[in-house]
Chain A
Amino acid sequence: MSVKSITRFLIISSAALFCNTANSQILNELGSVHGNFQIDAAYYQKDTIIDADPGSELFRYNAFGNINYSKGGFSAGVRFESYNPPLLGYLPGYKGSGVPYRFARYQHKDIDITVGNFYEQFGSGITLRAYENRGLLYDNALDGMRVIFTPKNGITIKGLVGKQRTYFSLSPGVVRGIDAEVNIMDLFDSILGKSKTKVIIGGSFVSKYQEDQNPTLVLPQNVATGAGRITIIRGGFNFNAEYANKANDPSYQNKYSYQQGHAVIASASYGTDGFSAMLSGKMLDNMSFRSDRDAQNTIAMINYQPDFSKFHTYSLMAYYPYATQPNGEVGGTGEIQYKVKKGTWLGGKYGMDITLNASAYFATDTIGIAPINDTLRNFKYSTNYSNLGEEYYHDFNIEITKKLNKKLKLTVMYANQFLNQSIVQFNTPDKEEHPDIKSHIGVIDLTWRYKTGSAIRFEAQGFFADYDYKEHAIDANGNKNITSNTGSWASALIEWTPNTHWSITVADQYNYNNPVISKRVHYYFGMIGYTNGPTRVSVSYGRQRQGIFCAGGVCRFVPSSSGLNISISSSF
């Protein structure tokens, strides 16, 4: 951390201290100051058994603090961030400290102006989404200016221009966008009267400019994308659809293909007391859109290609997660939720919740050379929309939750998953090195509330890889060149919350039939957490298995690690 940033922070802190000495009456007139912060720090150990090697920098941390000031319609804020170096598994480019986020905003009646950094989303995000997820260290904030104009109830017009954050600086391309949304019923309420059906239509146009410095290719410097969308809501029924088109946009991501991009996204849902059904589908073809055509990972992404697959919270269910394939995919997700009524044979005294969820995603059926196989920069291909390509992912799962009596609550869950990991995670057709992962996963989760405010939770999970090990025989040293299939896992966890402040967790994950015999080891883990109001502190120690974490449609690999972790977060 540089001396400059510390000084900056101390100045802000002492300014705050000064405010504190003023009495609260004056403070109210001066406006209010609020903020939050979080520090996640780790002291890593080398652990040869699980191949955890933190290198020479054993102490690492991710930290940030926001300070916001507001008075009436005016607000302003800064965020200080520091990673020296970032925790293992985060992009090393974040190494450093600074104030990458600062803004001033004024809202008055029909106008809302922001200068500096801001986050924004147009429609489903397919043309533009400047977004942050601090836990995943995903931050594509725009730095520029935004105006939101609401001339009449039911009409919203947004215009913006700026450059996107890339680590502690900005990406080279300029992003310009406009979005308009009309809530037809709100607009014509006075004429049509209160309608039960709501119809909202919207359209967006986003363009980027990046200079062409490529010595061999003639690259488009301005690339535009446009989209139209509609939402219809009536009672418990919801329908959403958006269509987007992108001009030719050769990039590192699409192997410099001059193909245009298309996207169709639609979802429908129905919900009533005790029952709901939802279906989402999408077809994405070459819609990756970045303000730096050479960027990788989560850097400089202008848009968001939605992912509807279930966001699992049990660790082994999420061991091989899916992420939208930026070059193209077709698929959908459906979900049915049903609440069995109290007092029925199945429902018993307290009722029972059942959730059925299914997802399946495939490659687009490309004719000619698909970008993934294109080594010759054969810039164009055509897509056969009536057919599906190879399977990328599926996840069929069922979850049942039932309160057994006043003290016991049980959740059981089963999933059948498939992941084409060579394409989805490693972006290569090499199936020998990265075989498809087929699995059956089971979870049992039991909470025992033994007295008011005190509970013990037991959790058992099993990940059963459906995989033919004979085919990939192991050599005399027990080493087979399978780097990305770790076989089956079993895990157990006990979490004790003696009161509402403290929690103690112990867990073990056992990689009991890793194809490499020497890697059949235990990943033990212990954690103590303390919460008081908005403040949370936790200390944990143990092994963390390698895994894939996905954010914004891009997955990143987090290596195995072992060590001590401390996390502090609060808001004020």
Chain B
Amino acid sequence: MKKLLILSSAIILSLSAFRSSDGDKIPSATVKKLDGSTTNSNTFSNNGKPIIISFWATWCKPCKKELDAINEEYAELVKETGVKLIAISIDDARSSGKVVTDVKVKGWTYEVYIDENQDFKRAMNVNNVPHTFLVDGEGKIVWSHNSYAEGDEEKLFEHVRKLAKGEKIAGH
């Protein structure tokens, strides 16, 4: 138990220390578009409007629930705030072939990329999916959330609306 305490306190210490560095730009990593071409994540942009970046996988039930729930309101939200959702699939070689069929059948209109060897996932320090980030109009990551519970999307919409108005998001 002592070992664990030392380890966790070291980690928590570093965690609290790094908090202030929130607000960084999207890091650089190579991701694959559904048409097979590659692009760098640091080129993600939305003309000064907010971006939602959502990490998901075809085998992840909560991820798909979240993206479906967002999809129900997405058209309206885009109209209202100009937001863009970028869905990053972390499916590996086993299931990456299913990404395109899942996206098509669900009728998602998101911008979808495959992060097949998880370069971008590592660059964004994602532990588990679903993990959702919010990027403000200046391209800075201002909020993130791990896991999905029914109703989480309401909070996300609230934050997106605030960002679109140029307001700050308080805490997590």
Contact = CB atoms under 8 A, between A and B. Distances in A.
Nearest to B38: A156
A61 B3 CA distance: 10
B94 A308 contact: yes
A231 B36 contact: yes
Contacts of A455: 149-151
Contacts of B95: 311
Contacts of B43: none
Nearest to A305: B93
A234 to B, nearest CB: 9
A452 B153 CA distance: 10
Interface size class of B (residues with CB under 8 A): 35 or more
A154 B100 CA distance: 21
Interface string B30-47: 100011111000000000
Given A198-B35, A503-B149, A536-B146, A274 B105 contact: yes
B150 A35 contact: no
Contacts of B58: 311
A366 interface: no
A124 to B, nearest CB: 5
A32 B42 CA distance: 15
A240 B94 contact: no
Contact of A452 (B24, B27, B154): B154
B7 A82 contact: yes
Contacts of A120: 117
Given A119-B118, A313-B59, A534 B36 contact: no
Nearest to B19: A572
Contact of A335 (B34, B98, B116, B118): B98
A534 B6 contact: no
B93 to A, nearest CB: 5
B105 A271 contact: yes
A36 B117 CA distance: 18
Interface stretch (A64-72, A213-221, A287-295, A371-379): A64-72
Contacts of A273: 104-105, 107
B145 A306 contact: no
Contact of A500 (B93, B98, B104, B152): B152
Interface in B77-133: 92-95, 97-98, 100-107, 116-119, 122-128, 131
Contacts of B101: 269-271, 276-278, 335, 337
A275 interface: yes
Contacts of A346: none
A520 to B, nearest CB: 30
A69 to B, nearest CB: 10
Given A271-B101, A311-B59, A121 B93 contact: yes
A35 B18 contact: yes
Contacts of A313: 59-61
B interface, by DSSP: helix, strand, loop or mixed?
Answer: mixed
A471 B59 CA distance: 38
A306 B94 CA distance: 6
A13 interface: yes
A304 B116 CA distance: 13
A335 B100 CA distance: 13
A139 to B, nearest CB: 12
Contacts of A27: 20-21
B13 A17 contact: yes
Interface stretch (A125-133, A247-255, A417-425): A125-133
Contacts of A503: 149
Nearest to B8: A39
A198 B125 contact: no
Interface in B51-80: 58-61
* Residue of B8, B118, B146 ringed by the most chain A CB atoms within 10 A: B146
Contacts of B8: 39, 568
A559 B10 CA distance: 32
Contacts of A82: 3, 7
B11 A65 contact: yes
B127 to A, nearest CB: 5
Given A120-B117, A335-B98, A17 B105 contact: no
Interface in A207-246: 231, 233, 236, 238, 240
A175 interface: no
A148 B24 CA distance: 25
A569 B20 contact: no
Nearest to A451: B151
Contacts of A275: 105
B7 A278 contact: no
A304 B59 CA distance: 19
Contact of B151 (A61, A231, A454): A454
A39 B97 contact: no
A514 B60 CA distance: 31
A572 B18 contact: yes
B46 to A, nearest CB: 21
Contacts of A280: 97
Interface string A133-152: 01100000000000010000
A570 interface: yes
A96 B60 CA distance: 31
B131 A240 contact: no
Given A6-B10, A272-B104, A447-B150, A569 B1 contact: no
Contact of B14 (A12, A61, A308, A338): A12
B87 to A, nearest CB: 15
A534 to B, nearest CB: 5
Contact of A13 (B17, B92, B97, B102): B17
Contacts of A24: 20-21, 23
5 residue pairs, one from A and one from B, having the closest CB atoms: A533-B172, A271-B104, A453-B151, A276-B101, A455-B150
24 contacts: A13-B11, A34-B21, A124-B93, A129-B117, A183-B37, A198-B37, A200-B36, A236-B104, A267-B97, A274-B105, A304-B93, A306-B94, A308-B94, A447-B150, A453-B150, A500-B149, A500-B151, A500-B152, A533-B144, A533-B145, A534-B172, A536-B128, A568-B8, A571-B124
Given A13-B17, A276-B101, 8 more contacts: A10-B10, A24-B20, A65-B14, A124-B93, A125-B92, A270-B101, A306-B94, A313-B61
